[in-house]
Structure 1
Amino acid sequence: MTTTEMTSGSGVRRALAYEWSAFKTARSNWVLVGAALVVQLLLTVVAHHSGEHGDITFDKVLSVGWLFAALVAALGVNSFGTEYRYRTISTTVLVAGSRLRVLLAKAVVVTAAAAVTEVVVVSASWVVLATALGAAPTVSTSLAMGTGVVVYAVLLTLIGLALGVLLHGSVLPIAMLVVWPQVEMFLINQLDLPQWLHVVLQPCYSARQLISESPDWPGVLPMLGLSAVLLGAAGIVLSRRDV
C-alpha cells in the first residue's frame, strides 16, 4: 500500500468519525428521529380497528407513512444545512482534507442514520400492533413492506443531502422534500400520460411501489437515478464553490 493510499484511507476514516460525532451531537437530529417515531406510533394506534388483522393495519400505516418520510430525509438536509448556517463547513473540509470526502462521509452517515431510524420506527409499529393491540402482522408481509419503506426513506435522505448542497441551506430543501411527492400525485391525477412516462416523471411515486406485499423493485430505479444525478451535481458544486 502506497503512502497516498494510506493517507487517503486515513482521511476517509477521519472524515467518517468527524461526521458521526457531528451528527450525534446535533440536537435537531434526535428531535427529527423522535418525531418520526412518535408519528409512526400515533398512526399505528389511530389506524387500527378492533378485530382487524395486523396486516391490514400495517398496510394502512405504511401506505401513508411515506408522507412523513421527510422527517427522516431532513437528516440529510441538515447535514449540510447546519454547516452553512453556523459557518463550520470550512472546518469540516479542513478535517476531511477534501470536499468530495466530506460529501462521501456525510452520505454514508446519513444513509446509515436514515436506515436505522426507519428500521426502529417500523419495528416499533410492529411491536405495538403485536403486543398492545394484540394484532401481530405476518412477519413475511411486514419484512417485505418494511424493506420498501427503508429504501424509500434512504433515497429521499440522499436527495435531501444533495439539495442541501445545491440550495446552500435547509429551509427550501426541506420544503421541497415535503412538496415534491405531493406535486407528483397532483400530476398523476391531472395528466393523462402513458404509464411508463408516469414512472419516469414521478420517481418518488414510482419508488413507493416498493411499499407493498409484492414490491415492484424496478420501480425504484427512477428515484435511484435521481439521487445519483443530484449527488453528482452536489459533488461538482461543492468542489467549485467557495466554502
Structure 2
Amino acid sequence: MTTTLEARSQADRAPGFRRALAYEWAAFRTVRSNWVLIGAALLVQLLLTVFAHDSRDHGDVTFTKVLSVAWLFGALVGALGVNSFGTEYRFRTITTTVLTARSRTRVLLAKMGVVTAVAVATEIAVLATSWLVLAVFFAAAPTVSSSLVMGTGVVVYTALMTLIGLALAALLHGSVVPIAFLVVWPEVEMLLINRLDLPEWLLVVLQPFYSARRLINETPDWPHVLPMLGLAAVLLCAAGIVLACRDV
C-alpha cells in the first residue's frame, strides 16, 4: 500500500509545471468570452484598416495610421489576462484551482505563460490580417521591414498590458475594476499627466503606458518600455505574494 501511494505521488509530481500549463490552457479555451475578445480584436483591426486606407496613400501610411490608434483597443487583448483570474473568482472555481494546488506560485506562472502566449499570438494574427488586407485587397503592401519593427512594439505593449490585467485581477478578486483600469488609465496619462510641467525623465516614469507606446514607431525608443515593464513586474510580484499569503 505504501509503495503504491509513493508511486502515485511521484507520478503526480512528474509533470510539474507542464501539468499546470495544460490545466490553465484547458481552462482558458473553455471560457467563451476569451474567444469573443480575440474575435473582437481581429474585427476591430480589420475595420480600422479598411476605413483608414486612402487610395492615394501607400500601405505604409495606412499601416502607421492604424497602429497609431490601435492601442485604444489594446484592452480587448489585455482583458484576456483579466479573465484568467476574474472568471475564476466570478464562477467560484478559484478554490479548486488554487487551494488544491501544491504551489500557488506555479498557478500564477502557468496563467502568465498561457495568457502571454495567447496575447502575443492574437496580436500577431491581428497585425498579419491588417497587412494582408492592405497587400491583397488594396494592392498597397506596407514595407515588410518597417511593419515588423512597428509590429514588434505593438506586440510588446499588448503582452505587458495583458500581464498587468492578470495581476490586477489577482489582487482585486474580480474583473470590472481591472478592465476599467486598462481602459481608463492610458487615457488619464495622455490627457492629464502629459500636461504637467515635469522633467522628461519623470514624465516617462509616471506614464508607463504612454511611454511604452513610443515603441510603435519605425525608430522605437526601447528604454521607454522600462516603466511599463517595471509596473508589470511589481504588480505580478504583489499578486504572487498576496495569492500565497491569503485565502482566496
TM-score, normalised to structure 1, is 0.95
Q: Deviations over 1:175-215 (max 9, x none)?
A: 11000100000124421111111100000111111100011
Equivalence map 1:112-131=2 (5 Å):
112-131=117-136
2:137 partner SS: coil
Aligned equivalent of 1:110, options 115, 119, 141: 115
* Counterpart among 50, 53, 61 of residue 45 in structure 1: 50
Q: 1: distance between equivalents of 2:94 and 2:237? A: 19
Does 2:29 align with 1:24?
A: yes
Match of 1:77 in 2: 82
User: CA 1:75–1:166 in 2, change beyond 3 Å: closer, same or farther?
Assistant: same
What stretches of structure 1 move > 6 A for 4+ residues in a row?
Answer: 3-7
Alignment-derived partner of residue 54 in structure 1: 59
Asked if structure 2 preserves the Cα contact closer than 8 Å seen for 1:14 and 1:96, the reply is no
Question: What percent of counterpart residues are identical?
Answer: 73
Cα deviation, residue 93, structure 1: 2.2
CA contact under 8 A between 1:15 and 1:95: conserved in structure 2?
no
Superposed CA deviations along residues 32-90 of structure 1, whole A, max 9, x for unmatched, are 00000000000001111112000010000001100100000000000000010011112
User: What letter is aligned with 1:133?
Assistant: F
Q: SS at the partner of 2:126?
A: helix
Kindly report which structure 2 residues correspond to 1:185-200, keeping only aligned pairs within 5 A, or say none: 185-200=190-205
Equivalences for residues 124-203 of structure 1 within 5 A = 124-203=129-208
Contact 2:194 2:203 in 1 (8 A): no
- Secondary structure (helix, strand or coil) at the match of 1:10 reads coil
Secondary structure of 1:131's counterpart equals helix
Note the alpha carbon deviations across 1:150-178, whole angstroms, 9 max, x for none: 00000000000000011110011001100
Change (3 A) 1:51 1:158: same
CA shift for structure 1 position 138: 0.1
Question: Cα distance 1:5–1:138, how it changes in 2: closer, same or farther (>3 A)?
Answer: farther
With over 3 angstroms needed to count, the CA separation of the structure-2 counterparts of 1:113 and 1:94, relative to structure 1, is same
Look up the match of 2:92. Answer: 87
Give 1 or 2 for the bigger CA radius of gyration. Answer: 2
Q: In 1, are the aligned partners of 2:204 and 2:211 still within 8 Å (CA)?
A: yes
Unpaired segments of 5 or more residues in structure 1? none
Distance 1:220 1:231 in 2: 17
Q: How far apart in 2 are the matches of 1:17 and 1:110?
A: 12
CA contact (8 A) 2:170 2:239 kept: yes
Within 2, Cα distance between the matches of 1:97 and 1:83? Answer: 18
Q: Describe the shift of the 1:220–1:22 C-alpha distance in structure 2 as closer, same or farther (beyond 3 A).
A: same
Q: Select 1:10's aligned residue among 8, 15, 34.
A: 15
Q: Which amino acid aligns with 2:15?
A: S
How many residues are aligned here?
Answer: 241
* C-alpha contact (below 8 Å) 2:165/2:178 kept by paired residues: yes
1:228 to 225, 230, 233: 233
